[in-house]
Each structure stands twice: as structure tokens, then as C-alpha cells.
Amino acid sequence: DAMVIQNPRYQVTQFGKPVTLSCSQTLNHNVMYWYQQKSSQAPKLLFHYYDKDFNNEADTPDNFQSRRPNTSFCFLDIRSPGLGDAAMYLCATSRDNVGSYEQYFGPGTRLTVT
């Protein structure tokens, strides 16, 4: 089945230690998104790729970076995690064609910062 896959599902890192979260998709969607979600709040968009074009949200800290080496993969890099970065990180994809704008989400990676 076509899907959005996130690895790992659970990640523990130390304060200040760089961490990378990965997302892959078999849907061949042209848009990929990274969201941060804290304790049953609405997902907060960090950035997204429209094809190869990177779009950063204005309030996303510089501590968060992203890479999309090809259509199928996208990475979230947190350069120096702080305690406040502990959250669920959700990857999503969409085709963004007329009539097909819904986003498909992966299961998420829960990040713990010790």
C-alpha cells in the first residue's frame, strides 16, 4: 500500500545533541510537509517543499532545518535540541492537483529531549 513512513517512531536525544528525523513516501506526491505537534494541540507547520522549492514558515526557529534529496525522502534536522523541542513531529504529503488537495500524514516521530 502507498503510504508515508516515518523513522524512527520514538527518538530520545540529549539536550544540544543534533538529531535527524526521516520521512519517506511511496505516493509520488510533489509536496512534503513537516509539522510539530505538542500535547493534543493543532499541528504547527514548520516548513514544506513544493517539488524542490523550500518554503520556511516565518516563525520556524533556525534550529530546525530540512533536506529533500529526492521526491521520496525528506529529513528534519534539529541542530541543537532544547527541552522545548520535545514534541511529536509529523510528516505529510500532498499531490496538490486540482481536486486533490488533502494531505496524507505519517504516523509521527515522538521526540524526547533529556
Q: For residues 6 and 111, is the Cβ–Cβ distance under 8 A? A: no
What binding mask, one character per residue, do residues 93-112 give for other proteins by CB under 8 A, x or -?
A: -x-x--x-xxxxxxxx-x--
- Smaller CB distance to other proteins: residue 40 or 70? 40
What binding mask, one character per residue, do residues 32-71 give for other proteins by CB under 8 A, x or -?
A: --------xxxx-x--x-x----x----------------
Q: For residues 74 and 56, is the Cβ–Cβ distance under 8 A? A: no
Q: Which stretch binds other proteins (CB under 8 A): 11-19, 63-71, 75-83, 85-93?
A: 85-93
Residues 6+ apart with CB under 8 A from 105: 4, 90, 91, 92
**Contacting other proteins within 7-26 (CB under 8 A):** none
Q: For residues 94 and 104, is the Cβ–Cβ distance under 8 A? A: yes
End-to-end Cα spacing for the chain:
36
Q: Enumerate binding residues for other proteins (CB under 8 A).
A: 4, 6, 31, 40-43, 45, 48, 50, 55, 88, 90, 92, 94, 96, 99, 101-108, 110
